[in-house]
Chain A
Amino acid sequence: MRRLRAPKYLLALPSFVWYGFFFALPVLLMVVNSFGYKPAVGEKGYVRLDKLSFDNYRDVWTDDFRSVFFSTMRIAGTATLLCVVIGLPVAYYIAIKAGPRMKGLMLLLVIVPFWMSFFVRTSAWKIVLSEFGVLNTFLVDNGIRNAPIDIIGTRSAVMLALVYNYLPLMVFPIFVSLDRIEPALREASKDLGAGRIRTFLSVTAPLAAPGITAGAILTFIPMAGDYVTATILGGAKGNMIGASIYNFAIQGQDVPKGAAAAAILIILILTVVLSAGLIVAAIRYVLKQLRRVDIPEST
């Protein structure tokens, strides 16, 4: 007697439906919309699809926009690198050097700021950085500078806040990958005569690579789409592509152009992530070739 067997993915079906209906199809629709055009004033709806063209892409790909696109990629890329440089030693300390009690405490201290509302903690940088803020008051009162410097509205302010907002997303994945390394591996390396730096470079760092990769993806992609940080701190100068998409969609009511900008954003992100991946793979290949150890065949 055989009963009708439920498909294996039965329990995942709600998720499949959910992501299909509220993620895959909407994104697909967005891509389709990017080829349509904005209906005339008074007509119903956001998009007309009876004539499809690349016009929106051409309209969006102007000099002004290109500079916004590339400055977004540059800001997000630089902030990601800064997150790696700042976050790696922290993750290394917490995972490998800190005692068990210190480990728990430090992890908590890194994650706690994350529980403060994104918007509020970003706004708080205004208290520090604005023209009459804490930093300027300090600098002027102590005669370090004659006049206050207005950091708000510059690219540096956006960069600082981006690093601040996304740093825990870098520390945690690196920590997890370092924490999983058996201490015995590093001890073995030392016992075999490798110094500290050699051990770090040839044992710890390669094993931490997946964590760094995960952290870089986890920080770069949301940063590339983040427009709130720039809205709060950037003013007009720190304009990010996310803000343009938002302006098209909500303020300009031009959904097709927004869709084209969003599609370009996706393509740029994929390009950056893939080329970074290729570069890393190439470096690893070269290093492996250089460090190759030939073990004589035993008979």
Chain B
Amino acid sequence: MSTTTSSTTSRPKHNRQPRDIGKWLTAAWSWLVVIFLMIPIGFVVAHSMNGGNSFNIWKEFGGLKWYRELLSDLSLRATLINSFKAAIGSTLIAVTIGALAGVALVRKPGRWTKVFLLLLLLVMVTPEVIDGFSLLSWFFDRGFNRPFETGVFGIRGGMIRLWIGHSLFSSAVVTLIVRARLQGLDESLEEAAADLGAPPARAFRQITLPLMAPALLAGAMLSFSFSLDNVIVSSFVGQDSSTFPLYLLGTVKSSTKPNVGAGGVLLFLVTMLFAFVTIRVLRRSGDSSGDIAATIAAG
């Protein structure tokens, strides 16, 4: 191993090398992949403005007529509203229990941590078909689950089931994001607040909570978009509260109309807006794009 010591001086410095082939090759490849990823998005946007009656076959430019139809067709509008209701409810559940669990994982670690992380891992890696199917038998097969079957307080059973079903994966993601964020924070800030006489609740409210706010927002954004997107779990539990993806699943065998694209674009814009606000907040709190990606990839 002693032969390598003198070699550095004879080699040219890498920043003077004329071309980094690896960089250009991977860059070209990456752009090809990005184009591949963008192809369907472009077609969805274009065909949502199709003048013809089919989503698949382009006829002529038809302007925004399918967007208008989206809002005038009452049953279709109801599915969009259901999608938002499901997303908001499951996001609230996921952020609440996920934030609490994330705080507990970092601040009160103990023997329970291992058990909990294992449970979290199982929740995250279980395929949605299994989640959906097991919830189906759970909700409809046992008498003590009556509220989930018929609904309570004027909320339909299907909506409650969607909240529950969608919140499982999302809350696990929120937990991991909050955990990652708090691990990066200095506990001495809270200790300083305590030394200055702040009771734990106040130290938490005034110090910890603002510091973890970006993580909560990022978790909320992800939960929201997962829920809007969910087809598989919904198809098992959402019986009396059809969401937009369920409506689409129902029409898959018949000919698809361009309103599919219009609805897709609408949900896309809402998610994008939410995402850009989140990215701005994360940037302000000092995250690099790498940190943000790590947050989105859930730690």
Contacts and interface: CB of A to CB of B under 8 A. Distances in A.
B190 interface: no
Given A9-B108, A117-B245, 13 more contacts: A15-B98, A22-B165, A23-B122, A27-B130, A98-B27, A117-B263, A172-B293, A172-B297, A246-B236, A255-B137, A255-B141, A262-B129, A293-B1
A238 interface: no
A113 B133 contact: no
Given A8-B104, A227-B129, A117 B228 contact: yes
B289 A100 contact: yes
Nearest to A129: B56
B127 A9 contact: no
Interface string B1-44: 10010011001001000001011011101100110111111011
Interface in B240-291: 244-245, 248-249, 252, 256, 260-261, 263-264, 267-268, 271-272, 275, 288-290
A9 B130 contact: no
17 contacts: A15-B101, A23-B134, A33-B141, A90-B29, A103-B290, A116-B264, A117-B228, A121-B41, A127-B40, A127-B47, A128-B43, A167-B37, A226-B127, A232-B252, A246-B133, A249-B133, A265-B130
Contacts of B93: 18
Contacts of B44: 116, 120-121, 124
Interface in A17-32: 18-19, 22-27, 29-30
Most chain A beta-carbon neighbours within 10 Å: one of B41, B165, B225, B228: B41
Contacts of B296: 111, 172
Interface stretch (A58-66, A139-147, A217-225): A217-225
Interface string B174-206: 010000000000000000000000000000000
B180 to A, nearest CB: 11
A222 to B, nearest CB: 6
A122 B100 CA distance: 36
Q: Interface residues of B: mostly helix, strand, loop or mixed?
A: helix
Contacts, number: 289
A93 interface: yes
Contact of A191 (B8, B140, B264): B8
B109 to A, nearest CB: 8
B133 A92 contact: no
A57 interface: no
Contacts of B127: 221-222, 224-226, 242, 265, 269
B30 A90 contact: yes
Contacts of B228: 117
B289 A123 contact: no
Nearest to B40: A124
A290 B58 CA distance: 59
B103 A225 contact: no
Interface string A106-141: 110111111111111111111110101110000000
A3 to B, nearest CB: 13
A29 B40 CA distance: 40
Contact of B260 (A26, A46, A95, A123): A123
B110 interface: yes
Nearest to A124: B40
Contacts of B252: 123, 231-232
Contact of B267 (A11, A22, A117, A227): A117
A35 interface: no
A228 interface: yes
A123 B41 CA distance: 10
Most chain B beta-carbon neighbours within 10 Å: one of A19, A164, A221, A222: A19
B130 A86 contact: no
Using C-beta atoms within 8 Å of the partner chain, give the interface range for chain A.
Answer: 35 or more
B209 interface: no
A176 B138 contact: no
Interface of A: 7-12, 14-16, 18-19, 22-27, 29-30, 33, 45-47, 86-87, 89-90, 92-95, 97-98, 100, 103-104, 106-107, 109-128, 130, 132-134, 164, 167-168, 172-173, 175-176, 179, 190-193, 196, 217, 221-222, 224-228, 231-232, 242, 245-246, 249-250, 255, 258-259, 262, 265-266, 269, 293
Given A25-B138, A109-B37, A93 B27 contact: yes
B129 A14 contact: no
Nearest to A294: B1
Nearest to A15: B101
Contacts of A45: 141
Contacts of B4: 192-193
Contacts of A10: 104, 108
A23 B137 CA distance: 12
Given A8-B104, A12-B112, A173 B297 contact: yes
Nearest to B235: A246
B72 interface: no
Contacts of B267: 116-117
A26 B171 contact: no
A103 B290 CA distance: 8
B137 A26 contact: yes
A23 B1 contact: no
B167 interface: yes
A287 B275 CA distance: 43
Contacts of B96: 14
B159 interface: no
B81 interface: no
Interface string B67-109: 0000000000000000000000000010011101101110011
